[in-house]
Structure 1
Amino acid sequence: MELKDLFSKQISFFNADLKSKDEVIEFLSNNLEKEKYIKSTDDFKAAVYKRESEGSTGVGDGIGIPHVLNPTVQKSAIAFVKLKNKVDWQSLDDQPVDLVFMIMTNGKDGNEHLTALADLSGFLMKAEVQKKLRSAKSIKDVQNALTKEEQKVEKVEKSGSYDVIGITACPTGIAHTYMAQEKLEEYAKQKGLTVKIETQGRRGIENKLTQEDIDNAKVIILAHDKALEGLSRLNGKKVIDTNTKEAIFKGDQLIEKYKKGEGLTEVKASSDSSEVSEFTMRKFLDIKGNLLGGISRMLPFVVAGGIILGIAFLIDFAAGNGNAGGEFGTINPAAGWFAAIGKISMSMMVPILGAFIAFSIVGSQGLMPGMVAGLFSSNILGFGYAYDGDGNPIMNGWSGLWARLIPKNLQGSESGFIGAIIGGYLAALLVVGWSKAMLKFPKGLQGARDIVFIPVLSLLSISLTMFVINIPLGFIMGGISLGISELAQLNLLWLVSILIGFMMCVDMGGPINKIAYSLGNLAVGGKLVTDINAAGNAFNDQTIIMASAMLAGMLPPLMVAMSTIIFPRAWTAKDRDAAKANWLMGACFVSEGAIPFMVKDPKRVAVSAMAGGALIGGLVGALKIKLLASHGGVFVFPLLSSSYLENGSMNGGSIALGAGSAVLIVLGASFISAMILGLWRTADIKNGKLTLDATNGVKESILEKIESVKNNTKINNKEEKLTLLNKKLDNYSAFETELATKQKAYQAILEEKHKQREARKANK
């Protein structure tokens, strides 16, 4: 496939009057869907903006090359726009663009189109090609400017005799990889030097450097925006390690710097694995990214497990087992089958969290020790800490293996999410430590090192670490549980209910949430208030704790979903789309659906949820709403009842009051929390304290409506509607400009405060 074959008249536009980068993306996306090149405008735009967030596709010289690799693309192509006026594209050379090439592929139609796309990168680096494109008036002019005759490649015949060598790579492996290659080759040839540049792009490794090439080279440049493969080939060599932007715009300076011995680093890659060679302490500092890495992998286990557990409770209720107490959901054989599946899935939450936190830092080497840390934290392998009713270790075969090693007063216990988070980081740290300690292993033993030595030592060291830290972490969680059970014994269940509702919303599936939920489970089994003669009705009413825990746990995802609808401007388009799933997660009592939103905006999301959770707890306690099931969300609402109308057992009146009140309480509290969250975010956006990390979709929505009105021939008052929509667009553009000014001013204030703090530290 030739480069020109990827262009077509239907998706090529000349002198388009577009005013911004967002307008260009919107314009192209709509036309690509119209011409059946993509399936979904929304999915395509989301992919475009995701790539833009990784680094600008404005490559300089007034050219923008946004590119997408996504299943929504139906066939590989390049859309072209020559703009009437230049627009800001956050380009690498800080100059606006007037030529835009939208590259799209789904990755399924072979490598021939990737070859063509790589050719495009090389063509666009040439001044004569740029000139022809800017004077182009038709698709034929564009295709003529990008024919193979325009590209002349000079090759050095003798292998291993190159003056300049290098490796280039970018995240998508389509554009910047080949542009950096082209420019480095151009800079070297201008200096009369022979050159060979290896590319690690979407087509894999091409033009691979041999050991002879490396040993004989006078200049070595690594220009990459992602981890490189096979760095051990260069061990001991001095190189300039930089990014593709530097190679594209300052390649000649890099060559000169190398000759002067400036800015050189020595390659010390531990193996041919990019994962191992990229171990760096900087990855530990990306706390948000590491947490999201674990949480995103954990959520499917929570969502699926929670829904299936709800089915188990529903089956048992339908079978007449609603008063089974702590065994509810397991009495009917069919219910038990679903309950087992749900419990297995839910029990994997914490190990998966630990595993993928470690994975996000050190790659696949972190999976095993990270998962073991999570297993320790979740106490799935409870046989290690098996105790009898008096707290003595059960010493019977495989039971109580670890309990035998520690005194009774230091019994290990479950540390939950907090243990998995800490354990995931510690596992990654141990993998890095052992990898660096074995850096100089003989070449013949490197395979055994990665497959045997590092995994074995990582397993032993993380196990010993978690064995120790689980003791203090377990005591922290145990102390909280003991305090709440004492309040229940004093007939202060209403206060406990408020506290439980509050705790369920503090970290939305984290350790504090799990403590509150565990207390609810104890109440369902009659093990929170164990004295049947306790003051008042504390023993009989203790399942109020479970009702408070479940209803408050439903609030965070519902709050987020409501807020994105009520306050669309306060959320990105991606956030609003992701929040749609929160309706189901909230209904099924899967609090973890709100965690990704809390990680991005911890203060506002958590505080808003805690206010609603405490309100739910207070109302549940006041109405004495009880729940006999430990999970299930809306599936177990028929099991809610109010002890005000009970006469020894559940009846129609008590269920009606309990279930009906619960619906109103959850929806009302979620609405109040959504209002707090939305108003708070809106206020902070307006004063510059909060900046959305992507478009909120408002401008795109207006532009879409304008385009729809323009193309609709059946509208009578078309001009009036277009005038109104354009006015809305102008107002929103002015609003965005004002926001940008306020955000810059707020950032300046923060920078000044930071400088003052640093100055005070220096004076001390």
Structure 2
Amino acid sequence: MSLRSITSERLILLDQPWRDRATILDQLCQRLYDEGKVSDKAAFLEAVWQREKLSETGFEQGIAIPHGKSAVVARPAFAVARVTQPVRDWPTMDGEDQVELIFLLAVPFGDDAGHLRLLSTLSLSLMDEQRVAALKAAATVEDFLTLLDDTNTSRASTPVTAGGQSLIVITSCPAGIAHTYMAAEALEKAGAARGIQVWSEKQGANGTEDEVTDAQIAAAAGVIFAATLPPKGKARFNGKPYIATSVSEPLKDADGLIDRLLRQPDGIVSVDGDNSESRTREKSFLARLYQGVSSGISYMIPVIVAAGLMIGVGQLTASLLGVTDIGNASYAKSDSTALVLCHFLTQYGNMIMKFMYPVFAAYMAYSIADRPGLVPGFIGGAFAGGLHYTFWSVSGGIPSGFLGALILGMLAGFLADYLNTHIRLHKHLQAMKPMLIVPGLSALAIFFINYSFVDPVFGGINQWLQQMIVAHGSGSTLMLAALIASLTAFDLGGPVNKSAGAIAIGLAADHIYPLTARVLGIVIPPIGIGLATLIDRMIVRQRVFDENQRITGTTSLILGFLAIGEGAIPFMLKNPLITISINITGAVIGALTAITLGSVQWYPLPAIWGWPLVQNLPAYLCGMAAGISFIALTNVFVRYALIRAGKMHIA
């Protein structure tokens, strides 16, 4: 397969007069959009700029290889610009900042091994000085493409063979295309010049390529982790000297890295593949915490989606059969097989949702401490989800919810990391540390932390909130509505939400106070935050949510109409102060608007199929629209202001 298959003559722009990086990237993105290679120019351009912020994409010989990885790219492609005068605002590895030849790579999410490998080969071929010189002198687009197709025979795709000593290199970068392979190539060449065999394992967009063998690891004098992302399978290198650096460093001084590994390594890879010392030096406490929260959220989202889908299918099908309370235990023994299935499908979704916080906390701790953090993190998340009350047959227990998951996941990660780093054992007892000592001590600590602090503190807060609701039960109608709406929106299905729901449903059952504020407080936040991820670029002319948040936002929007607020929890976990305050205000605005206009809902049916049972549905929808609009617009403007002030970044 030739490189022509992932580009075209219209994507090769020779001898252009553009003078700055912004213009070039904009023009190349426009051309990719015009040729149907990307479906959303603005979204792809944003992905490219986000990659530009991570490290230099300019290299020696006046070459730049910017690239963006985005869901708006259907299949891998690239566009080229050759400019008439060097561009001087493009940071390069050699510090010259004079770029003349730009290759913009468009990378999709998902697997397309053949095409992605071609893009990697293209990146490697541009390290050949003779080829670059020929590309700069090519008279026509056809000549240019012919020179590019010569890259299919590039020797860069195979390891450089040399005699004598050997080293292992692990490379990875955010996109897994250019830097991953170029860093490996640079170290292979530097090793060959020294007579050292360098075995390079690339952990790129295609997964792990050229995976090193046990024999190669055993013979190697050490390992170089030239990786922006956490290296996979680090435990394979137990006992080996190592250095850890960024993926761009080999392109600046590959020989210096090899010399540093042989003379003054960063340390020895620990027995479980983790080395907290190096990670601590590289990242601050807050950076590691932020990475942990982001990692936990990414693993938690599929749990929420799966649970929401099961609940939605069960409830929607039941509603079509005329049943609106399919969660009632009586339907488990219904004469209708369809209703029995709908009941257990709904309960199945509720069961899956119980694992939301254990998964979040486990992978949050895992990101902080690697494997030693998984067990205590999962246990902490189970406490946060209230699973201990179920297993211990404790009635009336109130779980700590998302705040508990944040606290326990964080403590589990840093505690396991500390124990793993500071416990020193005789070499014959080393196997006991990851299998017995670290998980045992950290799990014991999580028990006492939860028992003595997390459960009492948040249980006390929730109890106080319940008492406050009861105390205001006979007070002002609008005051009670504001209170119920705000507490319902506070933690999106968590213990505070459930406490408010228990009181509100009780008041409605006694026909004291309707559920209008309650049902609106459930649906407004997830729909509002989901809408915000769709309209941000239309409102402030740029994205204020990253790619993952936009995908999560779509899920939240859909689940919101099904009355499942948990879809918005990832936003709350990542930015709790912003999200919680906006959610509460929006829910209160929506509830008060609907009630003031005369809307009444006595039934606990916040999902879309419950709307026909609302009295004065137009007023209900008007209040709902007011709350959703407030949340969507406020999220966009607040995040935009924080980004402009440099206090928030799209990562």
Superposed pair shares fold, TM > 0.5: yes
Secondary structure (helix, strand or coil) at the match of 1:520 reads helix
Instruction: Label 1:439 to 1:327 Cα distance change in 2 as closer, same or farther (>3 A).
Output: same
1:612 partnered with 2:586: yes
Question: Counterparts of 2:330 and 2:517 in 1: how far apart (Å)?
Answer: 16
Structure 1 segment 201-280 matched on structure 2, within 5 A: 201=202, 202=204, 204-205=209-210, 210=216, 214-215=220-221, 223-228=226-231, 240-254=243-257, 264-271=265-272, 273=273
User: Contact (CA 8 Å) 1:170, 1:177: kept in 2 or not?
Assistant: yes
The AA in structure 2 aligned to 1:516 is N
1:350 aligns with 2:322: no
Matched, 1:65 2:68: no
Structure-2 residue corresponding to 1:663 = 621
Preserved CA contact (<8 Å) 1:313 1:632: no
Structure 2 distance, partners of 1:72, 1:557, is: 21
Q: Does 1:549 align with 2:521?
A: yes
Pairwise CA distance, 1:330: 8.2
* Superposition map of 1:425-504 within 5 A: 425-436=410-421, 442=427, 446=431, 459=443, 461-492=445-476, 494-504=478-488
* Aligned-pair CA distance for 1:664: 1.1
**Partner-residue secondary structure (3-state), 1:359:** helix
Q: Provide, for residues 259-290 of structure 1, a one-character-per-residue CA deviation record: whole Å limited to 9, x for no partner.
A: 8x6x642223224x479998759485333433
Give, in whole Å, the separation in 1 of the partners of 2:626 and 2:114: 55
Aligned mate of 1:336, from 302, 319, 343: 343
Is it true that 1:415 corresponds to 2:400 in the alignment? yes
- Larger deviation, residues 144-153 vs 456-465: 144-153
For 1:559-638, list aligned pairs within 5 A. Answer: 560=532, 564=536, 567-569=539-541, 571-572=543-544, 578=551, 579-597=553-571, 605-619=579-593, 627-630=601-604, 632-638=606-612
Given the alignment of the two structures, is residue 509 of structure 1 paired with residue 481 of structure 2, yes or no?
no
SS of alignment partner, residue 14 of structure 2? strand
Q: 1:545, 1:149 → 2: CA distance?
A: 67
Structure 1 range deviating more: 333-342 or 423-432: 333-342
Q: Deviations over 1:647-693 (max 9, x none)?
A: xxxxxxxx2x3x3321111112333454555555566667x466764
Which protein shows a greater Rg? 1
- Structure 1 contact 325–628 (Cα < 8 Å) conserved: no
- d(CA) in 2 for partners of 1:318 and 1:231? 52
**Matching residue of 2:504:** 523
Aligned partners of 1:184, 1:349: CA distance in 2, in Å? 42
Q: Where do residues 153-192 of structure 1 align in structure 2 (5 Å cutoff)? A: 158-160=163-165, 165=167, 167-171=169-173, 172-184=175-187
In the TM superposition, residue 595 of structure 1 has moved relative to its aligned partner by 4.7
Number of residue pairs the alignment of both structures matches: 630
Instruction: Give the whole-Å Cα distance in 1 for the aligned partners of 2:224 and 2:298.
Output: 36
The CA deviation string for residues 129-153 of structure 1, in whole angstroms up to 9 with x for no partner, is 4333322223435644856999799
Inter-partner Cα distance in structure 1 for 2:352 and 2:578: 30
The Cα of 1:200 is off from its aligned counterpart by 1.9
The answer to which of 95-104 and 310-319 deviates more is: 310-319
- Structure 1 484/549 Cα, relative in aligned 2: closer, same or farther at 3 Å? farther
Please state how far the C-alpha of 1:498 moved relative to its aligned partner.
1.0
* Counterpart for residue 138 of structure 2: 136
How far the C-alpha of 1:60 sits from its partner, in A, is: 4.0
Query: How far apart, in 2, do the equivalents of 1:485 and 1:621 lie?
Result: 18
Counterpart residue type for residue 408 of structure 2:
G
For 1:375 and 1:624, the matched residues in 2 are separated by 42
Distance 2:550 2:189 in 1: 45
User: Equivalent residue for 1:402?
Assistant: none
Residues 569, 304 of structure 1: alpha-carbon distance in 2 compared, 3 angstrom cutoff: same
What TM-score do you get using the length of structure 1 for normalisation? 0.67
State, as a whole percentage, how many aligned pairs show the same letter.
22
Kindly provide the amino acid, as one letter, of the partner of residue 66 in structure 2.
P
Q: For 1:177 and 1:571, how far apart are their aligned partners in 2? A: 27
Distance 1:54 1:629, change over 3 A: farther
**2:14 is matched by which residue type in structure 1?**
F
CA contact (8 A) 2:296 2:363 kept: yes
Per the TM alignment, residue 417 of structure 1 is displaced from its structure 2 partner at its CA by 1.7
Alpha carbons of 1:480 and 1:618: their partners in 2 closer, same or farther (altered >3 Å)?
Answer: farther
Q: Which residue does 1:706 correspond to in 2?
A: none
1:423 is displaced (CA, Å) by 1.9
| 1:213, distance to aligned residue in structure 2 (A) | 5.4
Partner of 1:195: 196
**Over residues 408-442 of structure 1, what are the superposed CA-to-partner deviations in whole Å (9 max), with x where a residue is unaligned?**
xxxx5421222222222233234434544666574
How far the C-alpha of 1:338 sits from its partner, in A, is: 4.6
Q: Identify if the C-alpha distance between structure 1 residues 627 and 20 changes in structure 2 by more than 3 Å, giving closer, same or farther.
A: farther
1:84 lines up with 2:91 in the alignment: no
Q: Identify if the C-alpha distance between structure 1 residues 174 and 597 changes in structure 2 by more than 3 Å, giving closer, same or farther.
A: same
Question: Which one-letter code corresponds to 2:502 in the other structure?
Answer: N
**Counterpart-to-counterpart distance in 2, 1:547 and 1:228:** 46
Q: Distance in 1 between matches of 2:606 and 2:344?
A: 15
**Residues 558 and 250 of structure 1, relative CA distance in 2, 3 Å threshold:** closer
Q: What TM-score, normalized to structure 2?
A: 0.77
For 1:330 and 1:660, the matched residues in 2 are separated by 36
**Residues 334-390 of structure 1: CA distance to partner in whole angstroms, max 9, x if unpaired?**
2534532342243333333323322333445544443332222222343444357xx
Shift of 1:252: 5.0
1:14 paired to 2:32: no
Distance 1:489 1:16 in 2: 72
The amino acid that maps onto 1:268 is V
Residues 85 and 100 in structure 2, CA contact (< 8 A), matched pair in contact too: yes
Distance 1:301 1:682, change over 3 A: closer
Q: How does 1:325-404 map to 2 (within 5 A)?
A: 334=339, 336-363=343-370, 366-387=373-394
* Residue identity matched to 2:462: G
Equivalent-residue separation in structure 2 for 1:510 and 1:616 (angstroms): 18
Gaps of 5+ in 2: none
CA contact (8 A) 1:502 1:614 kept: yes
Distance of 1:71 and 1:279 partners within structure 2: 30
CA contact (8 A) 2:416 2:442 kept: yes
Q: Summarize deviations over 1:380-401 as a string: whole Å, max 9, x none.
A: 343444357xx8xxxxxxxxxx
Separation in 1 of the partners of 2:69 and 2:267?
34
- Taking the aligned partners of 1:683 and 1:211, their CA distance within structure 2 comes to 50
Distance across 2 between alignment mates of 1:253 and 1:315 = 65
Offset at residue 569 of structure 1 (A): 1.9
Amino acid at match of 2:269: K
